[in-house]
Structure 1
Amino acid sequence: MDQLMAMRAFARVVEAGSFTRAADSLDMPNATLSKLVRELEAHLEVRLLQRTTRRVTVTPEGQDYYAKATRILRDLEDIDSSFNLARGKPRGHLRIDIGGSTARDVLIPLLPDFLARYPDIRIDLGVSDRAVDLISDSVDCAIRGGPLDNSSLVARNIGHAEMITCASPGYLRQCGVPAYPEELKNGHRLVTYLSPRNGRAFPFRFEHDGEKSEIKLEHRVGVNESNAHLAACVAGLGIIQTFRYAAAQALREGALVEILQKWQPAPYPFHVVYPQNRHVTHRLRVFIDWLVERFPERLAGGEIRQD
């Protein structure tokens, strides 16, 4: 038995909550992972997991072994990282979760710079507006916008995005250009962004001379994915609020027109987050530091500089 591999396999099953998801995250067949866990249990002469057709439950002995095994695995990663750090060459695999328009317009255009600096790091991007469970889905970090509501995550600010209100030229010709936010209630159509987590509609927010207001109307169309939300506006379905970086190309090409500029919403914060109990590897540390350096300018709509 490869005891180290068996420990890693068991730890991933505990974290992922299933053999299938654990096997996928370790890039190994489900049968191989199951065999490793069985061999580990036989070696220890104790049952670590209770398996049924529907779920996997960790036994008290399994919880104790998991706590001790993960300390050993973190120590081994520390040793590996210290040698990589000494050579100045972080290496390995990073799994990153990020929203659709932020991936398209901010992170992906910047990634050639990161991969040129760190050629031995391999990246998997999970692109979705729906927030994943970083632990069970074996994600190293996530880039998220808005207020943070999960105290189990460590967060580092990586900038603010400007929010704008806009519509297509065709829509404005048909329905008129609103002069102030309250005018949106007079027959205008709103394309609302819906929370991918719970389906709730985000209100339209405005701020002028320090005064904040919200417009909550029954929407004609609701969309829960950022790229499709922007596409609905370009198609003339109604008025949206979105990030300036997401609408920048459509604004330049004349497919969208910014409106209500005097009532811009407050800037929207972005963070990179990772679990508190997750060991911060050398590769994750350099990625986070790189985000702090490069992300804010691009998030604010700046051009990519060539260093």
Structure 2
Amino acid sequence: MDRFDALQAFARVVEAGSFTKAAQTLHMSKTTVTQLVQQLEARLRVKLLNRTTRQVRITADGAAYYERVVRLLADLEDADTSLSSASASPKGRLRVDVPSPLASLILVPALPAFHSRYPEIQIDMGVSDRMVDLIGDNVDCVLRGGNLTDSSLMARRVGELQLGVYAAPSYLERATTPLHPRELQDTHHRIVGLLSTRTGKVAPVTMRSDAEDIDVQGRYVVAVDDGNAYLAAGLAGMGILWLPQYMAKAHLARGDLVPLFDGWRFDPMPMYVVFPPNRHVSAKLRVFIDWVDELMARHAPMAATSTQASAVLDHL
């Protein structure tokens, strides 16, 4: 038995909650992972995991052992990266997941500079607006906006998105220009719906002026669960949008979008890099998070004071 492989297999089964998922992320067969864990239990003469046909549960002894295994694996990685060559140039594969508009408009265009700085880091980037299981999917970190709903995860706040309301000229020619957000309620006006990945519904948003606050629900003829598709539907004249400024900027300059409701505003949306609590923050992950922080400081700097934005906008 290779003790390192066995410890790694045991840790991944605990984190993924499944021998099958652990095998997939370790690029091993399920049989190999099962045998490694069984051999580890035989050597220790302790039951680490309780297995049923439906789930894997860690025992009390297994939980205590897991905490020490995680620290040991982290120390081994630190030992590797402490070498001068490794410290000067972090290396390895990094699995990240980012929203589709942020990927296409901000992160991917900036990747050549990151690669020039860290040529030995390989990035596997999931581009999606889905809710990612960081541990089960073996993802190192995700970049997300809006309220954080899982207090067990670690997060670093890296920016704030300023939001506005926009519509395509083709929509305004057909439906006329609304002058007050209340006109989006129970009238002929339509929004483009943005489906929450958590609830599957289109939630209201809160808009503020110096005189009042109003919750805007709006009615729609199309709703989507992807940020790029949401923008495309608005550009096609399917309804009114609320967008981060980075998504609207180029379209405003070309006249593809028109800003609405001057004097009204949203609370800014905080942006976070989120990562698993028990996952060692490796050198490659640390430099990636620092790079994202630098990038968002240019595109979505944080204000001195801010409040949490509506979770309906957590895709963008």
TM-score (norm 2): 0.87
Contact 2:220 2:239 in 1 (8 A): no
Deviation at 1:239, TM superposition (A): 0.8
5+ residue gaps, structure 1: 301-307
How many positions carry a matched residue from both structures? Answer: 300
Deviation at 1:87, TM superposition (A): 4.2
Secondary structure in structure 2 of the residue aligned to 1:265: coil
Deviation at 1:163, TM superposition (A): 1.1
Contact 1:84 1:91 in 2 (8 A): no
One-letter amino acid of the structure 1 residue matched with residue 193 of structure 2: T
One-letter amino acid of the structure 2 residue matched with residue 58 of structure 1: I
> Superposition pairs for residues 1-307 of structure 1, below 5 Å?
1-83=1-83, 87-185=87-185, 186-209=187-210, 211-299=212-300
For residues 295 and 85 of structure 1, do their structure 2 counterparts lie closer, same or farther at Cα, with a shift above 3 Å needed? farther
One-letter amino acid of the structure 1 residue matched with residue 8 of structure 2: R
Contact 2:80 2:86 in 1 (8 A): no
Deviation at 1:57, TM superposition (A): 2.0
Segment of structure 1 superposing worse, 185-194 or 173-182 = 185-194
One-letter amino acid of the structure 1 residue matched with residue 242 of structure 2: Q
Contact 1:84 1:90 in 2 (8 A): no
- Look up the match of 1:304: none
Contact 1:106 1:299 in 2 (8 A): no
Contact 1:204 1:241 in 2 (8 A): no
One-letter amino acid of the structure 2 residue matched with residue 91 of structure 1: K
Secondary structure in structure 2 of the residue aligned to 1:278: coil
Residues 143-201 of structure 1, C-alpha deviations (whole Å, 9 max, x = no match) = 11112233222222211122121122211111001122122233201112121111232
Mapped to 2, the partners of 1:273 and 1:133 lie a distance apart of 11
TM-score (norm 1): 0.89
One-letter amino acid of the structure 2 residue matched with residue 235 of structure 1: A
Secondary structure in structure 1 of the residue aligned to 2:246: helix
Mapped to 1, the partners of 2:286 and 2:268 lie a distance apart of 26
Residues 28-51 of structure 1, C-alpha deviations (whole Å, 9 max, x = no match) = 232322232232223323332233
Residues 225-262 of structure 1, C-alpha deviations (whole Å, 9 max, x = no match) = 21111122122211111222223343344333222233
Segment of structure 1 superposing worse, 212-221 or 18-27 = 212-221
Mapped to 2, the partners of 1:121 and 1:115 lie a distance apart of 7
Contact 1:107 1:295 in 2 (8 A): no
For residues 156 and 68 of structure 1, do their structure 2 counterparts lie closer, same or farther at Cα, with a shift above 3 Å needed? closer
Contact 2:90 2:284 in 1 (8 A): yes
Secondary structure in structure 1 of the residue aligned to 2:82: helix
One-letter amino acid of the structure 1 residue matched with residue 122 of structure 2: R
Secondary structure in structure 2 of the residue aligned to 1:57: strand
Contact 2:159 2:300 in 1 (8 A): yes
Deviation at 1:73, TM superposition (A): 1.1
Contact 2:190 2:219 in 1 (8 A): no
Contact 2:87 2:283 in 1 (8 A): no
Identity of aligned residues (%): 47
